[in-house]
């Protein structure tokens, strides 16, 4: 019986030593709405002009709008339409400084 316990203890120690901790992502909150962030980045920014935004956090919500000659009114109108129908986009994505 004692030998069986020793073998079990050895097996547990051996398997714990081989265990690896890996990230499966995590959840962040933006304006009290939870968002899941996957463990691997899908894009990155390497410009100095936004580096100051990351001082307080590793993540900054942002929205990209392709400059195709749209007026400010057209962008505002389209944004309002998306805010009404999209279940992910919210005003917190537009609070950049």
pLDDT 10s per residue in the chain (97 long)? 555 565 465 555 555 556 788 888 889 888 888 989 888 888 777 767 777 777 777 777 777 777 788 888 998 898 899 999 998 888 888 775 4
Contacts of 89 (CB under 8 A, 6+ apart): 63, 82, 83
* Pair 33, 91: CB distance under 8 Å: no
For residue 17, what pLDDT is reported?
58
Q: Which of 39, 48, 72, 44 is nearest to 60 (CA)?
A: 44
Backbone angles phi, psi at 53, to 5 degrees: -70, -20
What pTM, to 2 d.p., does this model score? 0.54
* Pair 28, 34: CB distance under 8 Å: yes
For residue 2, what pLDDT is reported?
57
């Amino acid at each position: 019986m004692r030998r069986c316990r020793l073998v079990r203890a050895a097996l547990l120690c051996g398997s714990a030593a081989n265990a690896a901790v890996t990230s499966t992502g995590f959840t962040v909150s933006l304006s009290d709405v939870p968002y899941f962030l996957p463990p691997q980045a899908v894009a990155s920014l390497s410009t100095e002009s936004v580096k100051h935004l990351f001082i307080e956090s590793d993540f900054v919500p942002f929205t990209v709008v392709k400059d195709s000659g749209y007026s400010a009114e057209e962008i505002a109108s389209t944004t309002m339409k998306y805010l009404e129908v999209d279940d992910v986009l919210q005003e917190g994505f537009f609070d950049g400084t």
